Amino acid sequence: MRNDLGIQVSPKYFDIMSIYGAVFIFTMVLFPYVYMITRVFLEKQSASLIENAKLLGKNSFEIFVYVILPISRGAILGGATLVSLEVLNDYGVAAHFGVQTFSTAIFKTWFAMGDIDSALKLAAILMFSVFGIVLLEKILRGKKKYNFTSKVRPIVRKQLKGTLASLAVFICFIFFSFGFIIPTLQLLHWSVLTYKKTLNIYFIQLMFNSVWVAFVATLLIIMISIVIANFCRMEGTWFSKLTSKLTLVGYSIPGAVIAIGVILFIIQLDHKLQWLYKMIDPDSITLVLGTSIIMLLFAYVIRFLAVGYQAVESGFEKVGKKFFEASRMLGKNVTQTFFQVDFPMLKPAIISGFALTFVDIMKELPLTLILRPYNFNTLATKSYEYANNEMIHEASIASLIIILVSLCAIYLLYILGDKEKV
Amino acid sequence: MFIEIEDLCFRYPNAPKAVIQDFSVTIEHGEVICILGESGGGKSTVLRLVAGLEIPSKGRIKINEITMVDQSVFVPPEKRGVGMVFQDYALFPHMTVSENIRFGLKKMNNKEKDFRINQMLDLVNLGDYGKRYPYELSGGQQQRVAIARTLAPKPSLLLLDEPFSNLDTELRSKIREEINIILKQTSITVIFVTHDKEDAKAMADRIVILKEGKIVEIVDSILF
Ligand SMILES: Nc1ncnc2c1ncn2[C@@H]1O[C@H](COP(=O)(O)OP(=O)(O)O)[C@@H](O)[C@H]1O
Ligand SMILES: [Mg+2]
């Protein structure tokens, strides 16, 4: 990249293939997590909060330190927690930049060295760090809940002027360029260089694999989410609440850990089901599930259930119970009511849940790498393989397609969001 | 007796004490009964129990000599032949006015359904509004659609939950008149709930005064 831009920097000062490079990439890419969560939170707060502080004689800086920062603490922490979990889950960036993390170490001990015990120990330590982070968030957040219902007039963003305005735009632009524009342009450039070599029948197969695996897993997740969310709506018991909380756990567990758990579970299941396999086919292999795509689908469902569930649940929350009850009073039973009333009204929530989950699964790497059947590649694993074999240029088209699919999903969400406002 | 409610008791799952205690009343065919009481007194809960949206912990409800609920029987809401107009109307937002009314019609061919829909729209004075969506109507119009939707399948009992609470005072007496006329035309049995004495006196034949889940007294509205 540097050569393309004609810049020469001594590698001694600027070696991007290091832990600093990885930190830089994570910062640029994960910046929106904290920014968006905090921004959405602040937009929901009442303007009188700031006006009162002004009337009490505080200047802008004091208001920022004594009012804005304390009330946004929860939102900022929430964003930061997501970032930490995202980094712990990451495999691709760390592996590519040659940084030793728990995730890469688990891979190495398990697959290169076949040392299952050590891999399990690493996974356990990694899980402890995850619990540590989640616990830390709870403690730092404290008991105070700044949940203001006085949404009379939301905070209006201050219009910056002159140098400050340019500075703010510039900072956002930097994150946007390094996180999105520059990599995309670079990928476009590389794909022009390599499309003759990589675009072939095999590539179509890759796309097909990616899409149908993500599609099936997403469909499963959405159906499970609907069942659980509906169950919670109908009975507000502790059991339903616990189930709803449990669906969220998977998203905080790093992919490498889920992969190990799923492998061990499926292998056991395969051994338990031996009698069945032998009954159907006497020459059956031992690991039927363990060598099939079912193992990967199962892991996707565990890891990404939270994404689909949260979207579907918020839909159920918005729709509530009253239309369900009205339909029952008009003579429809539970099933008729679901298809004629609940489902049409939940459609926006279901579509957005579907889009979010689908994109997340399409770009998933660690789980897919570990759990895919032999010779099964997706766009994400192929990009990784190319990049890993010093063929980063060849990885570009696959990556671009993933970006394209994500953009389509964002566009879809945007349209749905617009419709809701009517 | 058309409706017999005996010793009804009910407690919400996570609530400390019973919301309804020993609620008993009998209602005759074509009678309009009002349950009057302060907010939080359990009026909506009584309607929900009669509708079958909640299951009583004790007691019995009989409609037209058939037991709807007791210790061993539970008839689900869609099989009770009871219509209910909700406090916030609950019109399906993804359906037009006509589609909302059509929703509850059964065992008719399309022609009969269309006829019934037009009949109902005329009854509530909304003849030209069939193609509109609920959000394109005023509060009073929405309420009349809700009543039309509920009456369309010809329920044997009509439940109204605070039918006038979302309307301002001027509209209130006008709509009260209108509903009174609609109810007289259909000669249906009605239980309606309100916290407003004027509403109770203007519409009901008898008034059940409810306080903290218990019946204080049942009076004739002429004597009230
Ligand atoms: N779903 C519920 N869960 C728990 N308590 C409820 C529920 N609905 C109503 N209540 C309580 O039951 C009591 C009676 O409520 P309700 O029947 O709605 O009263 P009313 O209609 O007379 O205002 C109130 O104290 C209310 O807080
Ligand atoms: Mg009520």
Query: The CATH number of the domain where B185 resides is what?
Result: 3.40.50.300
Is A335 part of the contact surface with chain B (CB cutoff 8 Å)? Answer: no
Is A57 part of the contact surface with chain B (CB cutoff 8 Å)? Answer: no
Q: What string of DSSP letters covers A282-336?
A: TT--S-SGGGSHHHHHHHHHHHHHHHHHHHHHHHHHHH-SHHHHHHHHTT--HHH
Residue nearest to atom 2 of ligand 1 (CA): B12
Of ligand 1's listed atoms, the one at least distance from the Cα of B20 is 14
**Global confidence as pTM:** 0.81
Q: Ligand 2 centroid vs A390 CA: distance in angstroms?
A: 69
Residue nearest to atom 20 of ligand 1 (CA): B40
Q: Is residue B122 included in any domain, yes or no?
A: yes
Over residues B77-91, mean pLDDT: 92
Q: Is residue B178 included in any domain, yes or no?
A: yes
Q: Is residue B11 included in any domain, yes or no?
A: no
Q: Tally the domains of chain B.
A: 1
Closest by Cα among A146, A29, A21 to A78: A146
What is the residue type of B179? I
Angle between helices A182-198 and A396-421 (to 10 degrees): 130
Tokens of A253: 């567990």
Contacts 24+ apart (CB under 8 A), B53-56: B53/A325, B53/A328, B53/A329, B53/B77, B54/B10, B56/B8, B56/B9, B56/B10, B56/B20
Which of B19, B192, B212 maximizes ligand 1 atoms within 8 Å of its Cβ, making it the mutation to test the pocket? B19
Strands B66-69 and B214-220: unpaired
- Report pLDDT for A420: 60
- Ligand located closest to B35 CA: 1
The residue with greater pLDDT, A215 or A406, is A215
Tell me the pLDDT band of B42, cut-offs 50, 70 and 90. very high
Which of the residue ranges A309-318, A331-340, B196-205 has the most confident prediction, judged by mean pLDDT? A331-340
Over residues A297-312, mean pLDDT: 91
Instruction: List C-alpha distances in Å: A20 to A14, A17, A99, A176, A342.
Output: 9, 8, 9, 19, 50
pLDDT of A291 over the 70 cut: yes
- By mean pLDDT, which of A271-280, A371-380, B190-199 is the weakest? A271-280
Is A332 part of the contact surface with chain B (CB cutoff 8 Å)? Answer: yes
Q: Which residues are CB-contacts of B102 (< 8 A; sequence separation ≥ 6)? A: B113, B117, B152
Whether this model's ipTM surpasses 0.85 comes out as: yes
Query: A329–B83: do the CB atoms touch at under 8 Å?
Result: yes
Query: A329–B51: do the CB atoms touch at under 8 Å?
Result: yes
Q: Ligand 1 centroid vs B88 CA: distance in angstroms?
A: 16
User: Scanning the structure block, which residue is given the tokens 């524009």?
Assistant: A181
Is B149 part of the contact surface with chain A (CB cutoff 8 Å)? Answer: yes
Chain B residue numbers with beta carbons less than 8 Å from the beta carbon of A329 are: 51, 53, 77-78, 82-84, 150
Structural domains of chain A ordered from first start:
1-145 (1.10.3720.10), 157-193 (no CATH), 199-422 (1.10.3720.10)
Q: Which helix (H) or strand (E) holds B24?
A: strand B20-27
Residue A415's CB is within 10 A of a number of other CB atoms, namely: 12
Query: B13–A236: do the CB atoms touch at under 8 Å?
Result: yes
A236 min Cα distance to partner chain B (Å): 9
State the Cα–Cα distance between residues B143 and B164, nearest whole angstrom: 9
Q: Is residue B22 included in any domain, yes or no?
A: no
Closest by Cα among A169, A164, A144 to A72: A144
**Smallest CA–CA distance from A334 into chain B, residue:** B78
Report the residue of A330, A334, A341 to disrupt the B interface, i.e. the one with the largest count of B CBs within 10 Å: A330
Choose among B14, B90, B94: nearest Cβ to A322. Answer: B90
Which of B9, B11, B12 maximizes ligand 1 atoms within 8 Å of its Cβ, making it the mutation to test the pocket? B12
- Report pLDDT for A419: 67
* HSE, side-chain direction, 13 A CA sphere, residue A8: 0
Closest by Cα among B177, B220, B211, B224 to B36: B211
Residue nearest to atom 16 of ligand 1 (CA): B42
- 3-class DSSP assignment, residue B224: coil
- Report pLDDT for B194: 92
Judge whether A179 and A28 are in contact, CB under 8 Å.
Answer: yes
Tell me the pLDDT band of A9, cut-offs 50, 70 and 90. very low
Q: Is residue B156 included in any domain, yes or no?
A: yes
**Smallest CA–CA distance from B86 into chain A, residue:** A326
Closest by Cα among B93, B92, B116, B161 to A330: B92
Instruction: Identify the domain containing residue B183 by its residue range.
Output: 31-54+76-223
Q: Which residues are CB-contacts of B113 (< 8 A; sequence separation ≥ 6)? A: B102, B105
Q: Is residue B63 included in any domain, yes or no?
A: no
